[in-house]
Chains A and B, each alone.
Chain A
Amino acid sequence: MTPVKSKLGLSPTKIAKARKLAAEITAPVQEFIDTHTTVTIERATLRLLGADGANADGVPVPNLIAQACADKLAGGASVFYVNALVKLAKTPAELNKEIEKGLDISKLELTDSRHIQKKADELIKGTDARIAGNVAHRNAQLKLSKDRIKSPMIYVIVATGNIYEDVKQAQAAAHQGADIIAVIRTTGQSLLDYVPYGPTTEGFGGTYATQENFRIMRKALDETGEKEGRYIRLVNYCSGLCMPEIAAMGALERLDMMLNDSMYGILFRDINMYRTFTDQFFSRMINTAADIIINTGEDNYLTTSDAVEKAHTVLASQFLNEKFAANTGMPNRLMGLGHAFEINPDVKNGFLYEYAQALMAREIFPEHPLKYMPPTKFMTGDIFKGLAMNTLFNFVCKATGQGIALLGMLTEAIHTPYLQDRHLAIDNALYVHNTMEGFKDEIEFKKDGIMARRARQVLDETTSFLSEVKAQGLFKAIETAMFAEIKRPRDGGKGFDGVYEKTADYWNPVETYLKKKLKIAGK
């Protein structure tokens, strides 16, 4: 890691200690992950082998296969899909049609395993070429637009519920200066144990993540990027009960970033912890392979709890997210660790604390494209005050060199952003970022001033918090509400019945491919 001179006087020894604790905390969880699979991992695998489509009732083909396999999923679902392709001499598209019509591939007698392996190798080669092609295309475009992408990158959200309206708003935002467009998902999608199929026009507070919607928005942003001479990045939500499947779809359709947290689903969506930990690993392997930047969800700790008192839970979670991601071979440059500007505006010197914490994150994670989130909790409907708060947020963003600035909307807490709200937000950010371009390098801080003391305090609290978590074990720590003051029993939550201990002869050619490509040790 590049050594950076700390302007806050943070102790490298303490930072190293926190990292060591994170490694010790995640190790036993990783052991569980390595020996388990889940229904959505199997479906994601099938998708990467070519399974797609949905039957007349809207049940996706990967779900039809998984349902037919039932407990056989513990041995992996791929074998049945690849076997069917070999035995019936069909292309994936042809086979998908048969499955839509009711063919149960789990009932077909298995052919010689060498034929199955050979077919799998061929399919993987195709998938790998498609993903590699996406990465190459993105890199070429980024190289061309290198000088026109801002620092921090400007990230805005569209959330109309209708993919075609989303396109209009996204294109307008890109025209105004946005570098990154996130299509918010419809409320409730995270708890669906399937990914809907096809283009959609009906969502609430967001739009369904479907592969077709990904394609529609990708095409629209490529068009606008072409016009603006700047590659526009596309983001979606790799979270919830279908985390690895969304990752697979994103890899295939060249999304550029994915919201993806190792514990968010457990705490804030009541998804089972074994399920989430296992799913996040597989999804992060896919994201790494597709060179997709993940955005972790630490901002949620501050909307749930007090942002001054619980600042250390953000840093603790960043260390855990970093280690879980590193376990998938993910380089630092793909880890968009999250944090947020959520201190009550009435707190005296609150701005100094925000500034100190954002700079602390920057110094501790120097190579990571940190994702900084704007004020939401104390946005009230007073749009004028809201705009002022967003301006201070933009200041901290620039002053601390954040990688990804999710812009605040002055109408936060009122409605999903209007076209003009995004314009006002982007205008504000462009103004602040430009007027203080060289500020970061100009400024230093008092050795024992308010900011340096604040950052040191948060780091100290983080290490002692991580020591407590380590003593309990991560599963127990979550059960006893150590994170976000939310209790989640290890056998509770949604999706627990979709977790399987892998059988001795578990076969998953996609997993083998990913582990080989990402140089992950183990089987």
Chain B
Amino acid sequence: MFIKPYGDTSNDGAVQLSFTLPVKNCGRAKEAARLYVQKLGFQKVDVVHAAALSEEFTFFVAYGKTETGIDYDKVEYAEAVDKYMSMDEINEFIKTNFKRKLVIIGACTGTDAHTVGIDAIMNMKGYNHHFGLERYPMIEALNMGSQVPNEKILAKAKELKADAVLVSQIVTQKDVHIKNLTELIELAEAEKMRGKTLLVMGGPRVNNKLAKELGYDAGFGTGTYAEHVATFVVKKLYERMTSKK
């Protein structure tokens, strides 16, 4: 199936753009913006708004139509989990299949101090009426908080014999998160933890594809709740346990 953006008619290819150019706001600047959008491959370009941000910068809103389409059938993307379970189902699943509590620890590692993501997944209260892992009777959850060194979280994982480690990264300026996430994988490799303890990463600019590329078992982005992560963890652990037998 070949698809194109939908504005108000099938396949019209309408796209909305906004951007800033480093020039003073004037007629010439607006024309430059129009030509620039055209150079991006858009046709019927309309620069509908221009505003001076300072004497040296102008902000534009523009519309354009594109001829470019994409074959949707050829797009490949593996979701971490096909179907999610609820909190109760997850607890039952653990009781039935593991007959013990699972241990999950999480933190914002490296220099990242933004715990809003890991808190949403781990803390009792959860986020948006989705309880966090601390609330799960069959999960022993420990949130180590912000700015935890990678060595420290792995040491804690060993000490508690953690089944899964969740790493949250919010600050992604200049790809600082990639460096830190890679370091953690290398340390886990050195400690021979990969393949045993599940390593899961999360953050607003993170997805499952990136996680796999970096060597994690899964990655979760915006819109993730505790039950999503927990479903992945229990299913993956179960899969490993049963394939070993």
Query: Contact residues of A with B, CB < 8 Å?
Result: 159, 161, 168, 171-172, 175-176, 186-188, 190-191, 204-205, 268-270, 303-306, 344, 346, 376-378, 380-381, 413-416, 418-420, 423, 427, 485-486
Minimum CB distance partner of B177 in chain A: A204
Centre residue among A191, A381, A420 by max chain B CB count within 10 A = A420
Q: With A and B bound together, what is the CA distance between A265 and B146 in angstroms?
A: 12
Among candidates A159, A161, A378, A380, residue contacting B223 with C-beta atoms closer than 8 Å = A380
Shortest CB distance B131–A (Å) = 12
Does the CB pair A485–B116 fall under 8 Å?
Answer: no
Shortest CB distance A475–B (Å) = 20
Does the CB pair A381–B173 fall under 8 Å?
Answer: no
Q: With A and B bound together, what is the CA distance between A305 and B116 in angstroms?
A: 10
Which residues of the other chain, B, contact A380 by a CB distance below 8 angstroms? 222-223
Does the CB pair A269–B146 fall under 8 Å?
Answer: yes
Q: With A and B bound together, what is the CA distance between A7 and B145 in angstroms?
A: 40
Does the CB pair B173–A161 fall under 8 Å?
Answer: yes
Which residues of the other chain, A, contact B59 by a CB distance below 8 angstroms? 419-420, 423
Minimum CB distance partner of A485 in chain B: B123
Known interface pairs A413-B222, A419-B20. Does A377 touch B111 (Cβ–Cβ under 8 Å)? no
Top-10 shortest CB links A-B: A188-B111, A172-B54, A205-B171, A420-B59, A204-B176, A187-B111, A175-B54, A420-B20, A423-B53, A205-B173
Shortest CB distance B178–A (Å) = 12
Does B10 touch A at the CB level, under 8 Å? no
Does B163 touch A at the CB level, under 8 Å? no
Q: With A and B bound together, what is the CA distance between A304 and B113 in angstroms?
A: 12
Centre residue among B56, B111, B128, B205 by max chain A CB count within 10 A = B111
Among candidates B54, B145, B223, residue contacting A176 with C-beta atoms closer than 8 Å = B54
CB neighbors of A among B192-206 (8 A): 204-205
User: Can you name 6 A-B residue pairings with CB atoms under 8 Å?
Assistant: A172-B56, A188-B113, A188-B147, A204-B176, A268-B115, A485-B125
Does the CB pair A415–B222 fall under 8 Å?
Answer: no
Known interface pairs A346-B128, A415-B173. Does A268 touch B116 (Cβ–Cβ under 8 Å)? no
Does the CB pair A303–B116 fall under 8 Å?
Answer: yes
Q: With A and B bound together, what is the CA distance between A505 and B20 in angstroms?
A: 61
Q: With A and B bound together, what is the CA distance between A268 and B54 in angstroms?
A: 37
Minimum CB distance partner of B148 in chain A: A270
Does B2 touch A at the CB level, under 8 Å? no
Does B119 touch A at the CB level, under 8 Å? yes
CB neighbors of A among B117-134 (8 A): 119, 123-125, 128
Does B51 touch A at the CB level, under 8 Å? yes
Among candidates B20, B115, B125, residue contacting A306 with C-beta atoms closer than 8 Å = B125
Does the CB pair A187–B145 fall under 8 Å?
Answer: no
Does B182 touch A at the CB level, under 8 Å? no
Shortest CB distance B219–A (Å) = 16
Among candidates A186, A304, A413, A414, residue contacting B115 with C-beta atoms closer than 8 Å = A304
Does B57 touch A at the CB level, under 8 Å? yes
Does the CB pair B54–A269 fall under 8 Å?
Answer: no
CB neighbors of A among B16-35 (8 A): 18-20
Inter-chain pairs besides A191-B147, A270-B146, A304-B115, 8 sampled, C-beta below 8 Å: A187-B111, A204-B111, A205-B173, A268-B115, A270-B147, A303-B116, A346-B128, A485-B125
Q: With A and B bound together, what is the CA distance between A346 and B59 in angstroms?
A: 32
Which residues of the other chain, B, contact A191 by a CB distance below 8 angstroms? 111, 147
Query: Contact residues of B with A, CB < 8 Å?
Result: 18-20, 51, 53-57, 59, 110-113, 115-116, 119, 123-125, 128, 145-147, 171-174, 176, 204-205, 222-223
Which residues of the other chain, A, contact B20 by a CB distance below 8 angstroms? 418-420
Q: With A and B bound together, what is the CA distance between A427 and B52 in angstroms?
A: 12
Q: With A and B bound together, what is the CA distance between A306 and B115 in angstroms?
A: 14
Minimum CB distance partner of B125 in chain A: A306
Among candidates B54, B111, B116, B204, residue contacting A171 with C-beta atoms closer than 8 Å = B54
Does the CB pair B146–A161 fall under 8 Å?
Answer: no
Which residues of the other chain, B, contact A418 by a CB distance below 8 angstroms? 20
Among candidates A270, A378, A419, residue contacting B53 with C-beta atoms closer than 8 Å = A419
Which residues of the other chain, A, contact B111 by a CB distance below 8 angstroms? 186-188, 191, 204
Known interface pairs A161-B173, A187-B111, A187-B113. Does A423 touch B51 (Cβ–Cβ under 8 Å)? yes
Which residues of the other chain, B, contact A187 by a CB distance below 8 angstroms? 111-113, 171, 176
Which residues of the other chain, A, contact B222 by a CB distance below 8 angstroms? 380-381, 413
Minimum CB distance partner of B51 in chain A: A423
Which residues of the other chain, B, contact A171 by a CB distance below 8 angstroms? 54
Does the CB pair B125–A305 fall under 8 Å?
Answer: yes
Does the CB pair B173–A204 fall under 8 Å?
Answer: yes
Shortest CB distance B206–A (Å) = 12
Which residues of the other chain, A, contact B55 by a CB distance below 8 angstroms? 175
Q: With A and B bound together, what is the CA distance between A427 and B59 in angstroms?
A: 12
Which residues of the other chain, B, contact A305 by a CB distance below 8 angstroms? 125
Which residues of the other chain, B, contact A486 by a CB distance below 8 angstroms? 145
Known interface pairs A175-B55, A176-B54, A423-B53. Does A377 touch B116 (Cβ–Cβ under 8 Å)? yes
Minimum CB distance partner of B171 in chain A: A205
Q: With A and B bound together, what is the CA distance between A303 and B20 in angstroms?
A: 31
Q: With A and B bound together, what is the CA distance between A187 and B125 in angstroms?
A: 26
Minimum CB distance partner of A413 in chain B: B204
Shortest CB distance B200–A (Å) = 20
Which residues of the other chain, B, contact A168 by a CB distance below 8 angstroms? 56
Which residues of the other chain, B, contact A485 by a CB distance below 8 angstroms? 123-125
Q: With A and B bound together, what is the CA distance between A303 and B205 in angstroms?
A: 19
Shortest CB distance A367–B (Å) = 32
Which residues of the other chain, A, contact B112 by a CB distance below 8 angstroms? 187
Minimum CB distance partner of B176 in chain A: A204
Shortest CB distance A377–B (Å) = 6
Which residues of the other chain, A, contact B128 by a CB distance below 8 angstroms? 344, 346, 378
Among candidates A269, A304, A376, residue contacting B119 with C-beta atoms closer than 8 Å = A304
Known interface pairs A161-B174, A204-B171. Does A190 touch B113 (Cβ–Cβ under 8 Å)? yes
Minimum CB distance partner of A303 in chain B: B116
Does the CB pair B174–A204 fall under 8 Å?
Answer: yes
Which residues of the other chain, B, contact A427 by a CB distance below 8 angstroms? 51
Minimum CB distance partner of B204 in chain A: A413
Does the CB pair B113–A172 fall under 8 Å?
Answer: no
Q: With A and B bound together, what is the CA distance between A485 and B122 in angstroms?
A: 13
